[in-house]
Amino acid sequence: MPNNLNVNKLAGLKWHYVHQRFRTPFYTYLLWEGVSRHYNNNLRFPYEMGAILYLDQELMFADKVWRKTKTLTLSKLEKEPKFIQNSFCKAYKLNDKIEEIARELSQVKFSAYSNYQLADNLEKYCQLCFSMGAFIIFPLFIEEYLEDYVKKEVTKKCGAKTPEIIHDFNVSLKPSSTENDELSLLKIALKRHRRLPIEQDVKRHLQNYGWLKNSAMNNSYYSEKEIYRRLDGLRGADISQKIKNILNERHRQVSRVKKYQTEFAFSRKLINHIETLQEAIYFRSWRTERFYRNIQYLTALLEEISRRLGLKSWDDIFYVLPKEIINLLRQELTMDLKVVKERKRGYIMWADGRNTQIYSDNIVAGAKKKIKFLTIQNRECHEIKGQAACRGLAVGKVHIIKSKKEFKKFKVKEILVVPSTTPDYVPVMKKAAAIITDEGGLTCHAAIMSRELNIPCIIGTKIGTQVLRDGDLVEADAEKGIIKILKKA
């Protein structure tokens, strides 16, 4: 077990808050171990962030470390304009290697393997994931700088057309996984409408996109039943037109961006920063999606390991850290089931650049009381400010969603208020009159999807889920980034 967590020391630090999101310990470790230490020797840049805290669903970095590494990143970008884009390209290539190994592992019969062999295979996979950590934070460091720079320079060139142009520049030119999932489903629906067999298409769709539900890495995937339910929802729709609309809008988006660059004679630096911003918007979702997408190929390996560790259910493995799994296997030991049970109730993970440790049980409640990233001065305020992610205005009743278990209660044209979103939130987002998030940044999932769905969206309020209440009547002005409480519930 790890040494006691120095809660008082952590409580004295200033924090840079990222988001609130449930993830299993396995995923949290896989993601942040590679960020806190320098595993990727091919990237000769001090990217490691040795002060990361996951406090029972809330993720934050020590502000001093955050500012230092952000400053270094922006300085590097100024000296090497292609630095970020080149880093993204390296990440794409590294993922190809990770996916290749994961696919190979999916074909192996592990029952004949020794515990040491199981440990070696998992360690090989994890080391590659840790190397991917080199690229995880870059989008968060650059988004505010790039957004401000692009907006300032475009305003000089484009005047009154600036809001429209900026809106187009804040959309990725690459289709997201969610958009590809939608297109794939529409094509299956079209075959069904033409009375052609679709069974194999549905199975293929699940292989390609079923992982979109696995954002917590807890073995949650879409089922065939859910896919057929979505297909049933498309009965009577003009499916061919829907497909054309998606493809045409993507084509128009690319054409508009190229037209603006030529029409207003943008400088090479401005064009480079626009391209970097648009790639970052795509990359931010892509980078974490790869983790819970690729893990599906390790199902057979993890099932066998779970059996060897004596876990009650094989997916309890996601409450055991990779380093713990490897050590237990090599020592021919089983996992303490009491610890797994404690972690399911809540846990803390602290990465200090030397070790990434996990804590659970009574320490969690005590740490939550002492460690604060935000103090709300006035819970009775009647106006909240954020950042406009997708332009528009909507009036409606607030519905706060903090758990996937609450999805079914959400009604059409309500105002969706959330800490943050992941791909499995999309069906709920489609129903919303507007979207409001605590989390900020033009590259966050809510910002990306709201622009794809053309739903007014205000991000980065920080306090939306804490000040607003279910049933409050609000006006969400996503032109100005302001939420007005018209009538409290």
Task: Count the helices and strands in the chain (H runs, E runs).
Answer: 19, 13
Q: Kindly report, residue by residue over 346-382, the tens digit of the pLDDT.
A: 999 999 999 999 999 999 999 999 998 766 555 567 8
Residue 481 is given by DSSP the state T
Q: What CA–CA distance (Å, rounded) separates 145 from 143?
A: 6
> Is residue 65 classed as helix, strand or coil in its secondary structure?
helix
Please tell me the predicted confidence (pLDDT) of residue 170: 83
Can you read off the two tokens belonging to residue 157? 């060139």
Please give the average per-residue pLDDT across 260-287, as a whole number.
92
Please give the average per-residue pLDDT across 119-128, as a whole number.
97
Strands 482-487 and 415-418: unpaired
* pTM for this predicted structure: 0.89
pLDDT band at residue 169 under the 50/70/90 scheme: confident
The H or E element that residue 367 is part of is helix 362-370
Q: Characterise 11 by phi-psi region: left (phi > 0), alpha (psi -120 to 50), beta (else).
A: alpha
Residue 405, pLDDT > 90, answer no
Please tell me the predicted confidence (pLDDT) of residue 131: 98
Please tell me the predicted confidence (pLDDT) of residue 92: 98
Residue 148, pLDDT > 80, answer yes
- Residue 104, classified by CB atoms within 10 Å of its CB into exposed (0-12), middle (13-18) or buried (19+), is exposed
Please give the average per-residue pLDDT across 330-347, as a whole number.
97
pLDDT band at residue 3 under the 50/70/90 scheme: low
Please tell me the predicted confidence (pLDDT) of residue 400: 94
Strands 434-437 and 457-459: parallel
Can you read off the two tokens belonging to residue 307? 């059996």
Please give the average per-residue pLDDT across 4-31, as a whole number.
92
Q: What CA–CA distance (Å, rounded) separates 212 from 293?
A: 7
Percentage of residues in the chain having pLDDT higher than 90: 75
Domain locations in the chain as residue ranges = 1-373, 383-487
Please tell me the predicted confidence (pLDDT) of residue 59: 93
Please tell me the predicted confidence (pLDDT) of residue 372: 82
Please give the average per-residue pLDDT across 261-289, as a whole number.
92
Residue 67, pLDDT > 70, answer yes
Please tell me the predicted confidence (pLDDT) of residue 379: 59
Q: How far is CA 71 from the centre of its chain?
A: 23
DSSP string across 272-323: HHHHHHHHHHHHHHHHHHHHHHHGGGGHHHHHHHHHHHT-SSGGGGGGS-HH
Query: Is the alpha carbon torsion for 25, 140, 422, 282 positive or negative?
Result: negative
3-state helix, strand, coil in the chain (%, to 5): 55, 15, 30
Average per-residue pLDDT for the chain: 92
Least confident of 91-95, 260-264, 441-445, 480-484: 441-445
Q: How far is CA 230 from the centre of its chain?
A: 23
Please give the average per-residue pLDDT across 402-407, as a whole number.
85
Please tell me the predicted confidence (pLDDT) of residue 211: 94
Tell me how far apart the 2 most distant CA atoms of the chain are, in Å: 69
Please tell me the predicted confidence (pLDDT) of residue 20: 84
Say which CATH topology domain 383-487 has: Glucose Oxidase; domain 1 (3.50.30)
- Residue 474, classified by CB atoms within 10 Å of its CB into exposed (0-12), middle (13-18) or buried (19+), is buried
User: Integer distance in angstroms from the first to the last C-alpha of the chain?
Assistant: 47
Please tell me the predicted confidence (pLDDT) of residue 402: 85
Q: Kindly report, residue by residue over 230-239, the tens digit of the pLDDT.
A: 999 999 889 9
The H or E element that residue 360 is part of is strand 356-360
Percentage of residues in the chain having pLDDT higher than 70: 98
pLDDT band at residue 268 under the 50/70/90 scheme: very high
Please tell me the predicted confidence (pLDDT) of residue 250: 87
Please tell me the predicted confidence (pLDDT) of residue 374: 67
Please tell me the predicted confidence (pLDDT) of residue 270: 94
Query: Tokens 């040494």 sit at which residue?
Result: 3
Q: Kindly report, residue by residue over 173-221, the tens digit of the pLDDT.
A: 899 899 999 999 999 999 999 999 999 999 999 999 999 999 889 999 9
Can you read off the two tokens belonging to residue 267? 């400088």
